[in-house]
Amino acid sequence: MNKNRTAKSPRLDDPASWVDQYGDFLYRFALSRVKDSSIAEDLVQETFLAALISRANFQGRSTARTWLIAILKHKIVDHIRKRVREPASDKVESLSDAAAIDPAEGNFKDDGGWLNRPAKWDVNPMKIYEQKEFMDILYRCLADLPERQAEAFMMRELDGLSTEEICKALNISATNSWVILYRARMWLRQCIEKNWLDAES
C-alpha cells in the first residue's frame, strides 16, 4: 500500500467532487467576508482552480476542506488588497487636521505597553459588519491609510495572522507592529465615525 496516497484525502484525486463536497461551505465563507455574491462566487472558482493546479503539493497534513479554506483566505485577502489599492470613486470625507495628528504619539512606552489606554469604543462591530455600506466605507478608509498600515490591519483582522507572522511578512519588530496596528485602528475608527456613524445619526 502506498502510504503517501493513503495520507491524502481521497477527494483530492477527483476535483469534480470538490464543488459538491465543499462548494456551498466555501461560498458561505467567502460571502461572509466580501458581502457580494458575484465576487464570492468568483473567489470560490479561483480557489478551486488554484487547488487544481497545486494539488500535487498537497501532503495530507490537513483535511481537504482545511486546505481549500486556506487557499480561499489568501484569495479573499488578495481581493481586498487590490480593492484597497484602487482609487476610490467616492473618497471618504477628510478628517480635520486635529484628527490627522499621529494618534500613536505619546501613547506607548518603549516596550510597546500602553501609556494612555484609549477609552472603550461602544460599537458592536459584528452588527455593522453585516451591512454592505459599512464595508464600502471601510474599504475607502483603508485606501487612505499608508500601505504598510493597511497591510498590517488586513493581515491581523482579515487573515487572522499572529503578531509573529505579521512581523515576518513586513520585516518589522513586535513593538513596531503594535504601533502600526494602533495607528491603523485609530485612523479607521476616526474615519468610520466621520463617514458612517455620523451619517447614521
CATH number at 54 reads 1.10.1740.10
Average pLDDT for the chain: 73
Give per-residue pLDDT as tens, 68-121.
Answer: 888 888 888 788 777 766 655 455 555 544 444 455 555 555 555 555 555 555
The pTM (predicted TM-score) of the whole model is 0.48
Domain end residue (candidates: 85, 117, 151): 85
Residue whose C-alpha is closest to residue 52's, from 89, 15, 84, 22: 15
Alpha-carbon gap, residue 40 to 72, rounded angstroms: 10
Does 75 share its domain with 102?
no
Residue 92 lies inside a defined structural domain of this protein: no
**Structural domain includes residue 91:** no
- Percent of the chain whose predicted confidence (pLDDT) is above 90: 4
Distance CA 156, CA 163 (A): 8
Crossing angle, helix 37-54 and helix 16-34, to 10 degrees? 140
Domain finish residue from 34, 60, 85:
85
Instruction: Give the per-residue pLDDT at 46.
Output: 92
Place of cell 464570492: 40
**Amino acid letter at 151?**
E
Domain of residue 61 covers 3-85
Degrees (nearest 5) of the Cα angle 115, 117, 120? 175
| Shared-domain flag, residues 54 and 128 | no
Q: Is the pLDDT of residue 27 over 70?
A: yes
* Helices 174-192 and 147-157, packing angle to 10 deg: 90
Cα separation, 189 vs 90, whole angstroms: 19
Percent of the chain with pLDDT over 70: 66
Same domain assignment for residues 109 and 64: no
- The tens digit of pLDDT for each residue in 122-151 reads 555 555 455 667 777 887 888 788 888 888
Q: Specify the number of domains making up the chain.
A: 2
